[in-house]
Structure formats: structure tokens, C-alpha cells
Structure 1
Amino acid sequence: MSGTQTAAQAMVAATARLRAAGVADPARDARLLLAHAARIEASRVTLIAPDELPAEIAERYEQLVSLRAIRVPVSHLLGEREFYGRRFRVSRDVLDPRPETETLIEAALSEPFDRVLDLGVGSGCILVTLLAERPSATGLGVDLSEAACLQASANAVTHRVQDRADIIRSDWFEAVEGQFDLIVSNPPYIALDEMEDLSAEVREHEPRLALTDEGDGLGAYRRIAAGVPDFLMPRGRVIVEIGPTQARQVAQLFDAAGLSDIRVVQDLDGRDRVVMARMPG
């Protein structure tokens, strides 16, 4: 790519390069990265397509495409990812917000809640979204990673829920006090022997701590099931995201913990995605 190219020519070249590198959606990524390099909205890329790219934008674009070609996630290059209609700052320190996690959000919002606990808060996308959607609610987010806590705190400020969100470092329930009428979590659920099957973007650029328990993928659910009865109010709900094959095992863990009204919710692709349960009242 050089300064003598038009934006359209640069995009074509970038798309070919990303396709050759095995990127899943090269045209989309080439477009997003050009918009970022030019500091415009992606919807405006077609307006600059016939124009010659200034050298400084061409150079920025070259760097971004080079990084994407070695499978650095687009969200890390842009520094943000959209989730439930809001933009969240992301980095290598937190799991990327994913569309399927919006299934958990919809389940949580299906009933009122006043006090929510997010176990493994990560970027804060779940906690911040729930507080933004329920202006009367307050919440606590915990994470073992100090860097994740900082990222979640920054996103809470961005979306103006910082006065209703406490975010602290904790190993699951270790530093948690009080009771909640909603407990949510998207915990690490990839089994150790499944890690090699993940894409390079995920395996090499997202925090391992947020992906796997280094065991059978159910370790986090065992911790959650064991702790929930001490922190969930009567009739309160616990809602967790799961891997598509884990519904039965997680439901059994919740049943053994004395929880009731256990339900499995599918995502938009029809895969088991969320397990919900209630504290008997």
C-alpha cells in the first residue's frame, strides 16, 4: 500500500492480503481498519473510496493490516467492541464481548432486579449493560485480574454507571459481601483439551485466565454453584453463560446446590448458551 493509491485500491489490496492470511471476513476487516486509520465512521468509507489516501493514513492502514494479518483481533486494533448497542473499550487483558453473551443480558432483563453481582467481570460489558438498562439497580463486579478490574471500571465511567457499580479484585466469592437478587457470570468454560481448537485470534490474543479453567471446563461452575446459596436472596436468580455442550452438567450442579426452576436458554443460532436457576424462597 502506498500514498499513490486511492482508498478503494488500498482496501482491495488489504482484502487480498487478509484473505491470504486466512482471516475469516477479510473485506469487512479491511473496511473497518481503513475507517479507523482515516478516523471516520465505517459507514463513510464509501465516500472516500475514490480519493487518494494521504501518506499518513496509508501508513497507519499498512500497520493495522499487518497486525491483522498476524491475527491480532480487530477489536484490539480498534480498541473497542460493540455490545448490546454500546461500545466497550477492550484490550488483551479482557475477553472480547461477544454477540452470544447478549442472550444472558436478555435473560437477566426479563425480570426486575435491584442488586446484581457479576463474577468474572472482565471488560464490564455484562455488569455495565445491566446497570445502564436498569437505572435503579446497583451492582458489584469481581475479577481475579487487576487489569480487568481497571478496564471494567473505565467502561463503567464511559457509560456513566460508575456511581452504581463497585468493581473489586476477588477470586470468585472470596471478597464478596452481602446478598444479591441477581448473580451473573460468563466464566472460563473451555476445557484444556479444547484450547488448541480455538482460532489464533482467541488462543493467542485473549487472556487465558478468561478462557479455560485448565481442566474439564466445569471448574468455574462448581465454584459458582457452591457459593451461590450464601449470596443469593430468596427467589433471586443466577444466570451463567455456558459452552454449547455443558447445559446438562451445569444444570446438575445447580440442582445439587439446592437451586430450583432450572432452565436452559438457546442463543440465536439455536445452541444452548445460558443456564438459569432460582434460589428457593
Structure 2
Amino acid sequence: MSEKIEVLTSLKSWKEYGEITLRMAGIPDYKVDAWLLMEYVCNINKSYYYLHMDRPMDKSDAIEYQKLIDRRSRHVPLQYLTREAWFYDQPFLVNEAVLIPRQDTETLVEESLKYLKPHNSVLDLCTGSGCVILTLIRHASVIGTGSDVSEEALTVAMENANRQKVNNCAFILSDLFDKINGTYDMITANPPYIPTKDIKGLMREVSEHEPILALDGHEDGLYFYRKIADEARGYLKSGGRLVMEIGYDQPDLVKDILFQNGYRDIKIIRDLAGLPRVMSARWS
């Protein structure tokens, strides 16, 4: 590493090094990622870069940049390196304990907001980073509870609540409904829904680095939908809604599970790509 630092000096040469290294590692957006890591490490914007691209990079920054480029070349997700992911126009802290919030999941938020009123109570299962429940609180002024089976994930969610100054959200360490009490106007969930056999076939950023606990939906990917649909009936108020993210190839199967458990007004909502992404149903 010290030899590389002696050879490369300017911001421009380090950026080119990052691009070449990531391109050779098969990173599709290698130019974007090389820049974003430089922006993160050096705390600069593009205007500054173009005015000062020939100036030397600080040695401590160069050491850190090379470390992050090396990790990204091993397909560690960019968001885990910068410890930040944007969701619904808000930055969220993320690390290897939680799934990286994705734009697809914003469809779940938008569907949920259609039915919520101020002071409604919402339980968010498998809350992870807390991106769903904290967004619903900010936009609908609801009373929120986030639960997760992972203590490390809840630590991330609570830190996000602190950063966003969200005070009216409780967080509970619970395996789905095991430690949950009371009833709610809405239950949301983005549960694990990838069949076990399919996880190895996902992109390396997901299969090798995101938490398996948040991905593995057991043999057919439907284990958690069956369990949630069954148990949520005891925690939803009459007329309350269950809103869940689903796999694009699962809508008919999940719809059947919900119908068999007594839910009605079942809706399939598509994401911006036109794929089935969210299932919404009313408990009567």
C-alpha cells in the first residue's frame, strides 16, 4: 500500500486508480463508485475536484481511499462503505446488520400512506434500519413500533430515529409477534422472501454481504407470509390493514395465503418498473 501511495499523488490520479481497479473487478458503475468514495473520504464536491484535481491527496485520505476501493472491488456494497443509504429523500445509517433500503420498498410506504391518519398505530415487522416506520411517522404523524429479531439491526434503527429526531417510535426485540402486545391500525413488513436455494444466485453484493437473516424466506420463500398472515389477525384492529413487500413472482401465492386467512380487499401494487412489489389487505 505504501508503494502505491508514493506513486499516486493527485486527486485525479487516485480517482483514475479507483476507476481502473473497480472496472477490473467487474463493478458496473465503477466510475460513479470511484467518485462517491473519493467524495466520502475527502469530503469534497465535484466543483472542488475540478478546480483542484492536480493537488496531492492527503496521505491519510489516500490510505483510507485505497482501503475502500479494495473493499468495493471485493463487492462490498457502496452503502456499507459510506454507511449511508437514501430512502424517501432521507439519509439512513446502514451497516452489515441491516438490508440496504431500496427504492422498490418506497412502494410499500406510498401504499401505506393512503390509509393512515395522524395518531394511527403502526407496527413494522422486520424493521431493519427502520426506514419504513420512521418514514411513515414523518409523513403521517402516526405512533410507530418497529420490531426485529436482530438486536444489531435495532441498534441501527434506534440510531436512525435519533438522527432524524423521531421520538414517538418504540423498538422491540421480537421474533415477529413473540414479544408484541396490543392491537394496531396497520402492520407493515418487508420480510425475508428469497427461497433458500436462490440466495447463492443473487448478485455478490447481496449474497455475500447483506444479512442472510433478512433474506432467507426458507424453502419456497413464503414461510414468513404464512406466519405473518396467520398471527397478524390477533394484532390488527377490525378494518386494519396488513401491507407487505413481496417478490415479483409471488403475488398470486401471497394473495391466496391472505384470502385463506380471512383478509379481504386484497390489492397487488406494482413498483416503478411495473413489477408486483406490495400486497395490501384489510382484516375484517
Question: When the two structures are superposed, what TM-score results if normalisation uses the length of structure 2?
Answer: 0.94
Q: 1:19 aligns with which of 10, 20, 23?
A: 23
Structure 2 partner of 1:250: 254
Please tell me whether the aligned partners of residues 240 and 276 of structure 1 are also in contact (alpha carbons under 8 angstroms). yes
Residue identity opposite 2:86 in structure 1: E
**1:149 shift after superposition:** 1.2
Q: 2:5 aligns with which of 2, 13, 16?
A: 2
Structure 1 partner of 2:164: 159
Q: Secondary structure at the match of 1:190?
A: coil
Residue identity opposite 1:252 in structure 2: D
**1:140 shift after superposition:** 0.9
Structure 2 partner of 1:149: 154
Mapped partners of 2:243, 2:45: distance in 1: 35
**CA deviation map 1:196-229 (0-9, x unaligned):** 1111111111111000133211001001100121
Residue identity opposite 1:158 in structure 2: R
**CA deviation map 1:135-178 (0-9, x unaligned):** 3x1111111111111111111111111x2111011111111111
**1:45 shift after superposition:** 4.3
Mapped partners of 1:49, 1:98: distance in 2: 33
Aligned residues: 278
Structure 2 partner of 1:126: 132
Structure 2 partner of 1:66: 70
Structure 1 vs Structure 2 CA RMSD: 1.5
Please tell me whether the aligned partners of residues 32 and 42 of structure 1 are also in contact (alpha carbons under 8 angstroms). no
Mapped partners of 2:61, 2:88: distance in 1: 30
Mapped partners of 1:62, 1:218: distance in 2: 42
Mapped partners of 1:231, 1:42: distance in 2: 50
Structure 1 partner of 2:58: 54
**1:44 shift after superposition:** 5.2
Q: Secondary structure at the match of 2:76?
A: coil
**CA deviation map 1:166-199 (0-9, x unaligned):** 1011111111111111110000000011111111
Structure 1 residues 44, 132: closer, same or farther in 2, change over 3 A?
farther
Structure 1 residues 203, 224: closer, same or farther in 2, change over 3 A?
same
Structure 1 residues 66, 223: closer, same or farther in 2, change over 3 A?
same
Structure 1 residues 6, 174: closer, same or farther in 2, change over 3 A?
same
Structure 2 unpaired stretches of 5+: none
Q: Which moved more, 1:32-41 or 1:218-227?
A: 32-41
Mapped partners of 2:59, 2:75: distance in 1: 25
Q: Secondary structure at the match of 2:242?
A: strand
Q: List aligned pairs for 1:1-281, cutoff 5 A.
A: 1-2=4-5, 4-41=8-45, 45-113=49-117, 114-135=120-141, 137-161=142-166, 163-280=167-284
**1:43 shift after superposition:** 7.1
Q: Secondary structure at the match of 1:94?
A: coil
Residue identity opposite 2:215 in structure 1: L
Q: Secondary structure at the match of 1:212?
A: coil
Mapped partners of 2:91, 2:12: distance in 1: 27
Mapped partners of 1:44, 1:254: distance in 2: 54
Identity of aligned residues (%): 36
Structure 1 residues 158, 43: closer, same or farther in 2, change over 3 A?
farther
Structure 1 unpaired stretches of 5+: none
